[in-house]
Chain A
Amino acid sequence: MPLRAPVQTVTFGQKGLHLLWLHVPSKRLCPLEPSFLRYHLNINSTPSAGTLSPSPLPPFTACQVSGVVFFPLRFDPSIPYTYLTSSQIFPSALWMPCVHSCLRSYLATPFHFLSVGDHAPQSAVPADTAAAPEAGPVLRPLYMDVQATTPLDPRVLDAMLPYLINYYGNPHSRTHAYGWESEAAMERARQQVASLIGADPREIIFTSGATESNNIAIKGVARFYRLRKKHLITTQTEHKCVLDSCRSLEAEGFQVTYLPVQKSGIIDLKELEAAIQPDTSLVSVMTVNNEIGVKQPIAEIGRICSSRKVYFHTDAAQAVGKIPLDVNDMKIDLMSISGHKIYGPKGVGAIYIRRRPRVRVEALQSGGGQERGMRSGTVPTPLVVGLGAACEVAQQEMEYDHKRISKLSERLIQNIMKSLPDVVMNGDPEHHYPGCINLSFAYVEGESLLMALKDVALSSGSACTSASLEPSYVLRAIGTDEDLAHSSIRFGIGRFTTEEEVDYTVEKCIQHVKRLREMSPLWEMVQDGIDLKSIKWTQH
C-alpha cells in the first residue's frame, strides 16, 4: 500500500533531544521487545528530573544501524518519551546517510523493511525474532527450468530499451514521426521473425503469446470452415491451451479426435492417416513437447496433411529458434511462436498463417482491424521488437547453442545414470530435443526430491499444471506407470546454463536420491529381492 510517511523531528526534554520517527500502518509491523530498542538507543526507562516517565512502550520496530524508529499510527505522540538519539550512539556521519536512504526508499516505495548495513544483531535480540543470523546473504537457486521460461538475452533487452524510453509512439498512428518510427520497428521485427521460420513477413501476426496464437489457430480455423468441416485432430500430449480450445469447440458441436501417442511419445503416422476424415479441417501437433522434449515428425505430418488437403497447425513454442524450422519444407500452414521461450520478453508471441494457399481464420478479438484484422489491438512495440531481436539472435546462435546444449545434456544424463540405478528417461531418446530432459527416479517421490533440491530451480511437469496433485497427463499418455509418473523431474538446459551448474545439479540429485531411497521401505524391499508388483497391499 502506498505509504504517506510524515517525518517529524520532535524535541523532548531539557536537553533538546531529537527523535526522528516515521508513522507506518501498524498491521505491517512486527512487534519487538522494547528491550532491544532500549539497548540500542539507550532509552531511559526510569524517569529523570524534568521529564515525564514513559508509559509502556507501544509495539514498534527499529532498524538496527540507522537508529530510525518506526512507530505505529496508534502511537500517541503527545506522550513524551525520554530517548537518547542514535547520533549519540553512532557518529552522525554514519547515521544521517542511513536515515536519508531509509527515508528516500520509505517514501518512494510501498511499505517494506530495509536492512541497512551488515550489523549482526546484538545478543539483546530476543530469541523469538530470529535464529542465529546467516553467515552470508541468501543465495537464489540455480535456474534449470528453461521450459517454463527463459531469461532475457542482454542483446534483446538492448534492442527493446529505446522503445521503452524514447520511442514510445503507437505504431498505428499514421500522422506523426512517433508512429512512423514505431511502425518501422514493428515491421523490422516482423521480418526478423519471418526469416527465422522461412516465411513471408505478411504471414506473421503478433499476439500476446503462444496461448493466444493457439486459440486463434484452432478456434479461428474451425469456426471459419464450420459449415462444411466439423472435425479436428490433435494429440493427447498437447499443451493445455490446445486441449482446452478443442474442448470448448466440442461444446460448440465439433468432433475432436485425440490421437494417442506411442511409448516413445511420438504419434503413429498410420493412425493419423486413418483418423483424417473428409470433413477434417485441422490437424494440430506440437513440434517439441514441453514436458518430455520429444520431437514429432513434423515434415511427414505436413506431407500427409497437404496431400489430404487438411490444414496443419503446429505449436512450435519450444522449438522455434532451437531446431531449424522451415514452414515451406515442412508444409506447415499455421505455427505458434512464444517470445519468452526463446530468450525474449514475456507477454508477446506470434502466429504464422500461410497466405499461399490462403488459410482463412475467423478473428477472435474484435477491434480496430490491426494485424490484418486477425488480431485487433495496439501492437506493443517494445515487446515485438524484443521478439524480433530474440528471433534474430536465435538464428545466429542456433548451431552453437544446439551443440553446447547437446553436450551438457549428454553429460547430465550419463552422470546421473551411471551413479544411480533405476532411472528412466521419459520420451524417445533419438527424436528428442536435448535441452529438455525428463527423468523418473524409481522409489523416490518427485515432490520430495524437488523440495530437497531447493537450491536448484526445477519442475516436475509443465508449469501450468503444477498446481494440481495429479501426475502429468503427458506422462500418463506415454504409458508411464503411476508410481514412476509421480517421481519424474524435468531438467532444462538453455543458452546460459554452465557446466558447473549441470555438475552441481547432478551431484545434488544423486546425493538426495540416494538419501531418499535409504528412507524408502519400497527400496528396502526391492533390495531384498521382492517383486513389488506381486505384493498384495491390504485395504484398511
Chain B
Amino acid sequence: MAASSRAQVLDLYRAMLRESKRFSAYNYRTYAVRRIRDAFRENKNVKDPVEIQTLVNKAKRDLGIIRRQCPLSSGIKSHAQGLQQRQHAVGPGCAVWKGCGMEEPSPKIMGHLNL
C-alpha cells in the first residue's frame, strides 16, 4: 500500500475534527478537538514513512471510535453543563412538577424519549 500522502493526512485531520465537533458533551468535545489538533501538530515533522503509516492507522482507528461514540453520547440526553454553547437539555418545562418539590427528571428517564 502506498504511503499516505500529505493530502490524505490532511483529509483525515479535517474528518476527525468534523466528527469530534458532534460530541454533545462539552468536555468530550473540547478534549477531542484539542487532542487531535495537538497530536497532528506534534507529529507534523515526522519523515519516516513507516512511522507515518503507523500514526495514520492509529488516527483512522480513533476516527472510527469518534464516529461510534458521538451518536451514543448525544443520544443519551442530559442537562447541559454550564459553558456549553449548544444546549441539548430537555428542560423541566413542566411547571406543574416544579411546584411540588419533586426531583428533576433524571437523564436516564428522559434519555430514551429522543426529543
Q: Give A residues with C-beta under 8 Å from B.
A: 30, 32, 36, 61-64, 101, 105, 108-110, 112-121, 125, 128-131, 133-134, 136-143, 151, 154-155, 157-158, 161, 400, 455, 495-498, 500-501, 504
- Smallest Cβ-Cβ distance to A455: which chain B residue: B82
Q: A113-B94, A121-B95, A496-B28 are in contact. List 17 more A-B contacts (CB 8 A).
A: A64-B96, A108-B112, A115-B92, A115-B97, A116-B93, A131-B98, A133-B98, A136-B89, A137-B79, A137-B92, A138-B89, A142-B81, A154-B23, A157-B69, A158-B68, A161-B68, A504-B82
Interface string of B94-115 (1 = CB under 8 A from A): 1111111010111001101101
B97 to A113, Cβ gap below 8 A?
yes
- Given the known interface contacts A30-B102, A105-B112, the answer about A138 and B96 at a Cβ–Cβ threshold of 8 Å is no
B84 close to A (CB within 8 Å): yes
CB distance from A496 to the nearest CB of B (A): 4
CA distance A109 to B111 in the complex (A): 11
Query: Are the C-beta atoms of B94 and A63 separated by less than 8 Å?
Result: yes
In this complex, the interface size class of chain B, counting residues with CB under 8 Å from chain A, is 35 or more
B82 touches A140 (CB 8 A): yes
B46 close to chain A: CB less than 8 A: no
B17: Cβ under 8 A from any A Cβ: no
Q: How far is the CA of A118 from the CA of B115 in the complex (A)?
A: 11
User: In the complex, which residues of chain B have a beta carbon less than 8 angstroms from the beta carbon of A138?
Assistant: 79, 89, 91-92, 104
Asked if A30 and B83 make an inter-chain contact with CB atoms under 8 angstroms apart, the answer reads: no
The A-contacting residues of B in range 50-83, CB under 8 angstroms, are: 62, 65-66, 68-69, 72-73, 78-83
Nearest residue (CB) in A for B34 is A498
Q: With A112-B105, A141-B82, A501-B83 as known contacts, state yes or no: A128 contacts B94, CB within 8 Å.
A: no
Question: For residue A63, which residues in chain B have a CB less than 8 angstroms away from its CB?
Answer: 94, 96
13 example contacts (A-B, Cβ-Cβ < 8 A) are as follows A61-B96, A64-B93, A112-B109, A114-B94, A129-B100, A130-B95, A139-B89, A141-B82, A143-B27, A154-B66, A154-B73, A157-B69, A498-B31
| Inter-chain contact B100/A30, CB cutoff 8 Å | yes
Q: Chain A contacts of B34 at CB under 8 A?
A: 498
Whether the pair B72, A157 counts as a contact (CB closer than 8 A) is: yes
| Chain B residues within 8 Å of A, Cβ to Cβ | 23, 26-28, 30-32, 34-35, 38, 62, 65-66, 68-69, 72-73, 78-84, 87, 89-100, 102, 104-106, 109-110, 112-113, 115
Given the interface pairs A30-B99, A133-B93, A154-B73, the reply to whether A498 lies near B30 with Cβ below 8 Å is: yes
- 6 cross-chain pairs, A with B, having the tightest CB-CB distances, nearest first: A137-B91, A129-B99, A30-B100, A137-B89, A115-B94, A496-B27
Provide the bound-state CA to CA distance between A157 and B87, in Å. 23
CB contact between B91 and one of A109, A125, A130, A136 (< 8 Å): that residue = A136
User: In the complex, what distance in Å separates the CA atom of A500 from the CA atom of B73?
Assistant: 22
List of B residues within 8 angstroms of A155 by Cβ: 62, 65
Contact (Cβ within 8 A) B27 A139: no
Q: Which residues of A contact B99 (CB under 8 A)?
A: 30, 128-130
Contacts of A151 in B (CB 8 A): 27-28
Residues of A within 8 A of B110 (CB): 114
Complex interface: chain B residues within 8 A of A109 (CB) = 109, 112
Cα(A63)–Cα(B94), bound, Å: 7
* B81 adjacent to A30 (CB under 8 Å): no
Q: Which residue of B lies closest to A134 (CB)?
A: B91
Closest residue of B by beta carbon distance from A110: B109
Q: Which of A108, A139, A155, A455 has the most CB of B within 10 A?
A: A139
Indicate which residue in B81, B96, B102 contacts A139 across the interface (CB closer than 8 Å).
B81
Contacts of B38 in A (CB 8 A): 400
Docked Cα-Cα span, A496 to B25, in Å, equals 11
Assess the A143–B79 pair: CB atoms within 8 A: no
Given known A154-B73, A495-B31, A504-B83, contact A30–B96 (CB-CB < 8 A): yes
In the assembled complex, how far is the CB of residue B71 from the closest CB belonging to chain A, in whole angstroms?
12
Query: Residue on A with the closest CB to B108?
Result: A109
State the CA gap A501–B105 with chains docked (Å).
Answer: 25
What's the nearest-Cβ distance from chain A to residue B67, in Å? Answer: 10
A164–chain B nearest beta-carbon distance, Å: 12
CA A114 – CA B104 in complex, angstroms?
10
Q: How far is the CB of A235 from chain B (nearest CB, A)?
A: 34
Which of B23, B69, B94, B100 contacts A64 (CB under 8 A)?
B94
* A129 in contact with B105 (CB, 8 Å): no
With A112-B105, A112-B109, A504-B83 known as contacts, the answer to whether A118 contacts B93 (CB < 8 A) is yes
Q: Do A143 and B81 form a contact, CB below 8 Å, given A113-B97, A136-B91, A137-B90?
A: yes
Cβ contacts under 8 Å, B27 to chain A: 143, 151, 496-498
Complex Cα distance, B73 from A151, in Å, reads 12
| Closest B residue, CB atoms, query A108 | B112
Cβ-defined contact, B83 with A142, below 8 A: yes
Q: Assuming the A-B contacts A113-B105, A119-B93, A129-B100, are A139 and B82 also in contact, with contact meaning beta carbons closer than 8 angstroms in the complex?
A: yes
Given the complex, which residues of A lie within 8 Å of B31, measured CB to CB?
495-496, 498
Q: Give the Cβ gap from A538 to chain B, nearest Cβ, in Å.
A: 42
State whether A158 and B65 are in contact (beta carbons under 8 Å apart), knowing that A137-B87, A140-B80, A142-B82 are contacts in the complex: yes
